[in-house]
Amino acid sequence: MSLGFGSRYEAASKSRSDLDEESDAKVTKALKPIDEFIQDLAKQITKAGSEKDLVTRRLYQRCVIENVYTWAKADALNDMRTANAKLSIPSRVGGIAIAYAEARNQVPGLGDKQRTIEAWLLKRARETVYFFDNEATKGASRNNLRAWASLGVGEVGILTEDRALVDWALMSNKTMIEGASGDGSIPLEMNRMQYALHYQLHAMTPLVASVARLCDAGYGKGSADFGKLGSMARFSVNAVKDPKIVQKINGKAQTVKPGLKTNVSSLAWLEPYVALSNDVNLEKELSSLRPLSNSKLGGNQTALYDGRRISCTITAQN
């Protein structure tokens, strides 16, 4: 599978805030088959999670494994021909990896197919690391795109027990958190003018999920500052309630409309955050928004994290 497309934004837009509508439509069209594939995987995972009958549950899980195997056998996503394509794919690899992880080892007799899948994911993850370490622009290597890359790479590292990938994700998460301002805003995203809050939320989604999944797998938090992560979470929630908080930072009215219920699709990361932080006050606010879902995080996050408390105690042996 080959992909090659330009930016969604006008070439002269240094802040990447001036949308090129024609180019944006081309990018969306190019990515649509991949995104629909991930959405379907997430739906199957959500159905499996809510299914009490073991036979039926395994049918959904088998469907996920078989579909991902089809892509792995074809070595899908192996030919990214532009920098923008290379930037767009890590979040999709992460979405596939998480859906696969939720179905992995649940259905007997699929060991060979799982090995093929994991070898394929490993190639894509290593390509991601190489790109971000050697080719990505300075901004892309530190903003929401790096957070999405970290989520995907970390998930593959967990699946394959590849410590180098896990460490790269831990380092990336730590760097992302360190780069936030004291108030919890992310400077690189605040520079995105009217899209600043949109991209703040877009960064929080993979960042929080990655921290949670790495901790849950026993790899710990990699010395990430959880106090600062809390500031980032509170800033994001407060800014969604009142986007003028961001407008005061960069002087631009935000495209995000005020209100938590208006922005449920951008707040699925709150489920893993509450599981990590045990933030009682935030959980109270969260209750009226449930269920929260995001296909690139594995579907229904409320179901995945229902009543869970995630420890960051290191237990992994590799």
pLDDT digits (tens, 9 = 90+) for 104-129: 999 999 999 999 999 999 999 999 99
Question: pTM of the entire structure?
Answer: 0.93
Domain containing 24 — which CATH number? 1.50.10.100
The count of residues in the chain is 318
Report pLDDT digits (tens) over 182-192: 999 999 999 99
Tell me what pLDDT residue 12 has. Answer: 61
Average pLDDT, integer, range 254-276 = 97
Report pLDDT digits (tens) over 223-264: 899 999 999 999 999 999 999 999 999 999 999 999 999 999
Angle, vertex CA 273, rays to CA 250 and CA 246, nearest 5: 10
Tell whether 184 is covered by a domain.
Answer: yes
Instruction: Tell me the range of 28-42, 81-95, 137-151, 202-216 where mean pLDDT is highest.
Output: 202-216
Tell whether 109 is covered by a domain.
Answer: yes
Tell whether 318 is covered by a domain.
Answer: no
What secondary structure, in 3-state letters, does 273-288 show?
HHHHHCCHHHHHHHHC
| CB contact at 8 A, 227 and 235 | no
Tell whether 292 is covered by a domain.
Answer: yes
Tell me what pLDDT residue 173 has. Answer: 97
How many domains are there within the chain?
Answer: 1
Helices (H), 74-110: 83-103
What is the spatial distance between Cα 226 and Cα 170, in angstroms, rounded to a whole number?
A: 13
Considering only residues 7 and 99, tell me which one the structure prediction assigns the higher pLDDT. Answer: 99
* Domain containing residue 83: 2-305
Tell whether 283 is covered by a domain.
Answer: yes
Tell whether 316 is covered by a domain.
Answer: no
Tell whether 311 is covered by a domain.
Answer: no
Average pLDDT, integer, range 153-179 = 97
Query: What confidence category does residue 318 fall into, taking pLDDT thresholds of 50, 70 and 90?
Result: confident
Tell whether 315 is covered by a domain.
Answer: no
- Secondary element (H or E) of residue 300: strand 299-300
